[in-house]
């Protein structure tokens, strides 16, 4: 997958040097826990003992899903377009959190059904207006999936080359929790019953109906699928672009901050195909969507936060972003025992 985007292995000597720098800071060894591991990871990913989280950018990918016609969501597909307009007008939670934390934000029309006027923050992919209904045919052709991957990879790689250090992944797409569930089921073999949750507000009866619909959809492509085949069969255009963005970011030595359940399904696709990108990937949080814990365990991810979030839009990634800033600041600015004149442990 995206073999033309080469990802250099992390320098083990640099990782060891970063750990040595962390260990001589004025604190008991390991006492900053996950922040220490995060600082070391960022140093390795960026290839420097002075990693930085800024400047950072939220890339929010939006697209529609043909399987919504089967009744998998409590909301109609036109809400995707309406929410994209809300993002462009600055009214969503992701806008508020991005502004509060000083991140630039762009919205990518990965494949929404509706039409919107041009906007300085809107990027159009022009691949397709939504996906096919996966109950009857693959959501995307192989060519569409490949084009979406390439679009996301190129967009992210260009951003990193232009000076961005961290790319936070966000998404919007009515029905995309269903795509994420089917992707995890197809790639990892985890049962649909335990992966399926309420998404954007289904009640218990709605969740049960969703389970049965997803099981029927999965019967069309039974068994374990390759990441690319699973993406074509079930993925949304926004999920494919997020997977591509993760690989493109890693290829340029940047860091991807992955949001919740849907963004993690994109990371699952990308890391299953390109595991070397894991060193450049940070998982922001564990969402309340029940399948997310199982998906994170399958990836082997250690998320930074657990706040019962289930909104998407990159909101969890934006809330976790200050931890990356602080990890870098600790490595750069915290005194050592020697510089502070503090006696070390005997």
| Token digits of residue 111 | 């494949």
Task: Name the residue among 97, 59, 162, 45 with its Cα closest to residue 321.
Answer: 97
| Token digits of residue 264 | 């993690």
Return d(Cα 71, Cα 318) in angstroms, integer: 31
Return d(Cα 226, Cα 188) in angstroms, integer: 10
Contact 94, 87 (CB under 8 A): yes
Return d(Cα 53, Cα 164) in angstroms, integer: 9
Q: What number of CA atoms fall less than 13 Å from residue 40's CA on the CB side?
A: 20
Return d(Cα 71, Cα 3) in angstroms, integer: 37
Return d(Cα 323, Cα 73) in angstroms, integer: 34
**Residue 313 falls in the annotated catalytic set:** yes
What is the H or E stretch that residue 123 is in?
Answer: strand 122-124
Tell me the three state secondary structure of residue 18.
helix
Return d(Cα 40, Cα 21) in angstroms, integer: 9
Which of 36, 150, 289, 313 is an active site residue?
313
| Own/partner pairs, 137-140, CB within 8 angstroms, 24+ separation | 138/221, 138/232, 138/233, 139/65, 139/66, 139/67, 139/179, 139/232, 139/233, 139/234, 139/235, 139/236, 140/231, 140/232, 140/235, 140/237, 140/240
- Residues annotated as catalytic are 313
């Amino acid at each position: 997958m995206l073999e033309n985007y080469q990802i250099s292995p992390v320098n083990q000597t640099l990782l060891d040097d970063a750990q040595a720098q962390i260990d001589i800071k004025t604190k008991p060894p390991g006492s900053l826990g996950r922040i220490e591991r995060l600082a070391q990871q960022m140093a390795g990913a960026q290839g420097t003992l002075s990693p930085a989280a800024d400047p950072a950018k939220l890339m929010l990918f939006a697209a529609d899903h043909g399987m919504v016609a089967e009744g998998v969501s409590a909301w109609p597909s036109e809400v995707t377009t309406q929410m994209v307009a809300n993002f462009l007008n600055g009214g969503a939670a992701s806008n508020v959190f991005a502004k509060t934390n000083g991140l630039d934000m762009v919205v990518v029309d990965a494949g929404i059904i509706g039409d919107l006027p041009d906007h300085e923050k809107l990027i159009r992919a022009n691949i397709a207006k939504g996906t096919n209904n996966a109950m009857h045919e693959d959501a995307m052709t192989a060519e569409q999936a490949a084009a979406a991957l390439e679009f996301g990879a190129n967009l992210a790689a260009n951003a990193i080359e232009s000076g961005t250090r961290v790319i936070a992944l966000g998404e919007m797409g009515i029905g995309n929790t269903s795509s994420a569930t089917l992707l995890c089921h197809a790639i990892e073999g985890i049962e649909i019953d335990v992966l399926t949750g309420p998404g954007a507000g289904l009640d218990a009866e709605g969740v049960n109906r969703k389970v049965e619909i997803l099981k029927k959809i999965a019967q069309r492509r039974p068994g374990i699928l390759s990441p690319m085949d699973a993406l074509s069969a079930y993925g949304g255009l926004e999920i494919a672009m997020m997977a591509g963005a993760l690989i493109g970011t890693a290829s340029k030595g940047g860091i991807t901050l992955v949001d919740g359940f849907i963004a993690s399904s994109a990371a699952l696709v990308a890391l299953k195909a390109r595991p070397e990108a894991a060193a450049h990937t940070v998982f922001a949080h564990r969402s309340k969507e029940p399948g997310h814990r199982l998906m994170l365990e399958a990836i082997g991810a250690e998320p930074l936060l657990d706040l019962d979030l289930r909104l998407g839009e990159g909101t969890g990634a934006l809330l976790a972003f200050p931890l990356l800033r602080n990890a870098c600041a600790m490595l750069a600015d915290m005194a050592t025992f020697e510089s502070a004149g503090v006696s070390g442990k005997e």
